[in-house]
């Protein structure tokens, strides 16, 4: 399948597993092969001090979150605003997804010389869910205003998802509206 579609570009997280996947996709391409372009914007959610720690589904009643962390207890995050010290909340991740649309995908979307261009984004599950939700919400803000990133969760590590993006150029603007909650 990968060898039958010619990709114009391959963008990936700079983390090793994503970069290796991007290189495998590149190697399956016929010439001219696009070189993988790593970006820290495509990384998975940053967990800060919670990175690599065992998460606990429960919180100790009456104990502040900072006290939980001091005891080595990392309760599961329960809202889009919560984050571990030094980490990102889901809202932070959504803002990063918006940056990817503006700075990585946007130039391809708005390039009038590109017709049916295929771009590969190699990233990580939680980030990709945020990115797809941001794309869907920008595509049609009125019909899809209730689309949530959790609607796109559960993608498998070895799976792929095809997203088709089209832009309608108006005389007034060449940028999509950002999500209302940003």
Q: How many beta carbons lie within 10 A of that of residue 51, not counting itself?
A: 12
pLDDT digits (tens), the chain, 182 positions: 556 788 999 999 999 999 999 999 999 999 999 999 999 999 999 999 999 998 888 899 999 999 999 999 999 999 999 999 999 999 999 999 999 999 999 888 877 666 778 899 999 988 998 998 888 887 665 555 566 666 666 666 556 677 777 666 554 344 555 544 44
Nearest to 153 by CA among 49, 58, 45: 45
The topology under which CATH files domain 2-45+88-152 is Rossmann fold (3.40.50)
Instruction: Strand 36-39: give its sheet, edge to edge.
Output: 36-39, 9-13, 119-122
C-alpha 22, offset from chain centre: 15
Quick check: pTM over 0.85? no
Domain boundaries, the chain: 2-45+88-152, 47-87
């Amino acid at each position: 399948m990968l060898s039958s579609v010619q990709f114009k570009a391959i963008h990936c997280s700079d983390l090793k597993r994503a970069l290796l996947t991007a290189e495998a996709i590149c190697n399956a391409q016929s010439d001219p092969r696009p070189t993988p372009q790593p970006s820290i914007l495509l990384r998975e959610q940053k967990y800060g001090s919670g990175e690599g720690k065992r998460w606990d589904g429960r919180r100790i009643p009456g104990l502040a979150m900072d006290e939980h962390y001091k005891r080595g207890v990392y309760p599961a995050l329960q809202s889009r605003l919560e984050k571990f010290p030094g980490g990102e909340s889901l809202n932070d991740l959504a803002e990063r997804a918006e940056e990817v649309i503006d700075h990585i995908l946007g130039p391809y979307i708005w390039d009038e010389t590109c017709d049916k261009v295929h771009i590969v984004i190699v990233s990580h599950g939680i980030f990709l869910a945020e990115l797809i939700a941001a794309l869907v919400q920008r595509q049609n803000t009125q019909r899809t205003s209730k689309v949530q990133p959790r609607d796109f969760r559960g993608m498998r590590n070895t799976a792929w998802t095809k997203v088709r993006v089209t832009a309608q150029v108006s005389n007034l603007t060449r940028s999509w509206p950002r999500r209302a909650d940003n």
